Amino acid sequence: MTDRRIVLIIGGGIAAYKCLDLIRRLKERGIGVRVVLTRAAEQFVTPLSVGALSNEPVFTNLFDLNAEREIGHIRLSREAELIVVAPATADLLAKMAGGHADDLASTVLMATDKPVLVAPAMNPRMWMHPATQRNVAQLRADGITVIEPAVGEMAERGEAGPGRLPEVPELLAAILAALDRSKARAIPLTASKTGRASGLPAQLLAGRHVLVTSGPTHEPIDPVRYIANRSSGKQGHAIAAAAAAAGARVTLISGPVSLPDPAGVDVVHVETAAQMLEAAQSALPADAGIFTAAVADWRVATPGTQKIKKSVGAKAPKLSLTENPDILKTIAASGPSRPQLIVGFAAETNDVAEYAAGKLKSKNADWIVANDVSPETGIMGGDHNLVHLVTVNGVETWPEMSKSAVAEQLIARIAAHFASRKDAAE
Ligand code: CTP
């Protein structure tokens, strides 16, 4: 049983069928969905199918005394973090703008003090009608988030223009962003254990520049020897690939790894921490910086310029180490060129969440993705990851999933974060 919940009000439009998939996607992410169907919506989807998918009672009529007794419209709203209206018909928008409360959907909307997200869908001429545009302007002025309908062919033959309900991934991203914005708590995203996520919408990060560091660094001892660590670069490379799939311009600064360069990504190959820092600084400005590299904390102060030879009876050479620059911390302190979102990774072997919370502060990161890299977890070098997302809002533990699923979830989260900031700025 989840404690995160939205109320989804489904209006009477042909696009109502998309809400069935939307309910599934929300449930996959651990978000409970209570559905209110308008009378017209019942012509397009049945309470039975909605109830089977949401695994909750479906609410259809204000005067359903049983439901009123068990859970009234006030409680419906009180127990939700967000009210979503999709598809919102011209009639529903008009009712909302006019403050009507003559059925369950409009009564919930009038009685709620929760954020409301509206996804209109209708014939393009109805959408462009001055009355609808007036109503939408009124709803926005009332603090309601209205998603622009998509442009395209309508169900009616020969009709095209703005009015389509956005596709499920876009609806999902808007809902996650609205939940993020509500800041009540951080959002627990989930994915199947083996799961490659279903793929990110190609435009999710369009126009954004994402900087990713990945892999280990090699710190020379002499021309043939170096200090290294066991990082494979799999998680960082997967994140770069997911960001590119979501339409971002991606600069991946990679230490020495045996992975191919991800498609569609600008890759800068480096060896040492100093080179990684220089490459990261030259890649700025960026909208997001994701620092997954396992940067060596120390380097040999004066590496040999020639191979250090061993001779019989001589003592082993002493290596004098000096601290490497902290790339994340330096970029996070780079003033106006600081990316607006800085995500660090924390590789720990014990007290994972506590150390990660410390790094969030000490490095001035916005989020830290923490993972337990004790040898028994098989995470370092493996294909799966079990991470905790640490933000100022608290710690979320994601289920164990593949590194590519972690990458996609993280990118979806970042897109939702940007979407919520954009909305807030408008
Ligand atoms: N990091 C970095 N530059 C460094 C060290 C770390 O950019 N010189 C970044 C990593 O990419 C990661 C985060 O800082 O995003 C935390 O790395 P981690 O190795 O867990 O932490 P350290 O700061 O090295 O602390 P410690 O090794 O003591 O746990």
Which residue in the list 61, 229, 364, 393 is annotated as catalytic? 229
CA of 267 to the centre of ligand 1 (A): 21
| Mean pLDDT of all residues in 224-252 | 95
Atom nearest to 363 CA in ligand 1: 14
Structural class in CATH, domain 5-182: alpha beta
| Mean pLDDT of all residues in 155-182 | 81
Ligand 1 pocket residues where CB is under 6 Å: 213, 273, 291, 293, 295, 297, 324, 326-328, 344-347, 359
CA of 213 to the centre of ligand 1 (A): 11
The type of residue at 96 is M
Best residue for ligand 1 mutational test, from 227, 235, 297 (most atoms within 8 Å of Cβ) = 297
Check pLDDT > 80 for residue 100.
yes
| Mean pLDDT of all residues in 108-121 | 92
CB 287 within 8 A of CB 339: yes
CA of 228 to the centre of ligand 1 (A): 14
Check pLDDT > 70 for residue 260.
yes
How far is the C-alpha of 384 from the C-alpha of 373, rounded, in Å? 11
**Which range (35-44, 135-144, 248-257, 358-367) has the least confidence?**
135-144
Residue 374: pLDDT band with limits 50, 70, 90: confident
Torsion sign (Cα): 27, 29, 32, 34: negative
CA of 328 to the centre of ligand 1 (A): 8
How far is the C-alpha of 123 from the C-alpha of 13, rounded, in Å? 10
**Closest Cα to atom 28, ligand 1: which residue?**
297
- 40 three-class SS: coil
* Angle subtended at Cα 168 by Cα 165 and Cα 169, rounded to the nearest 5 degrees: 125
Best residue for ligand 1 mutational test, from 217, 231, 324, 328 (most atoms within 8 Å of Cβ) = 328
**Closest Cα to atom 16, ligand 1: which residue?**
346
| Mean pLDDT of all residues in 318-332 | 97
pLDDT digits (tens, 9 = 90+) for 181-201: 664 333 333 333 333 333 566
Is there a catalytic annotation at residue 364?
no
CA–CA distances in Å: residue 254 to residues 130, 150, 213, 244, 415: 53, 38, 6, 15, 23
Structural class in CATH, domain 209-309+316-425: alpha beta
**Closest Cα to atom 3, ligand 1: which residue?**
326
Please write down the HEC assignment for all residues of 148-185: CCEEEECCCCCCEEEEECCCHHHHHHHHHHHHHHHCCC
pLDDT digits (tens, 9 = 90+) for 70-91: 567 778 888 899 999 999 999 9
**Closest Cα to atom 4, ligand 1: which residue?**
326
The CATH 3.40.50.10300 portion of the chain extends over: 209-309+316-425
pLDDT in the model for residue 108 = 92
How far is the C-alpha of 18 from the C-alpha of 36, rounded, in Å? 15
- 209-214 and 249-254: which strand pairing? parallel
Best residue for ligand 1 mutational test, from 359, 366, 389 (most atoms within 8 Å of Cβ) = 359
**Closest Cα to atom 12, ligand 1: which residue?**
345
**Which range (17-31, 90-104, 409-423) has the least confidence?**
409-423
Question: Is the whole-model pTM more than 0.75?
Answer: no
- Could you tell me where the beta strands, DSSP code E, fall in 259-331? 266-269, 288-291, 298-300, 321-323
Atom nearest to 324 CA in ligand 1: 8
pLDDT in the model for residue 332 = 97
CA of 215 to the centre of ligand 1 (A): 12
Residue 385: pLDDT band with limits 50, 70, 90: confident
- Tallying the residues shown for the chain, one arrives at 426
Return phi, psi of residue 155, to 5°: -60, -35
Check pLDDT > 60 for residue 65.
no
CB 237 within 8 A of CB 262: yes
CA of 295 to the centre of ligand 1 (A): 6
Torsion sign (Cα): 126, 130, 135, 140: positive
Atom nearest to 331 CA in ligand 1: 7
CA of 179 to the centre of ligand 1 (A): 30
Residue corresponding to tokens 């001055």: 130
Check pLDDT > 70 for residue 225.
yes
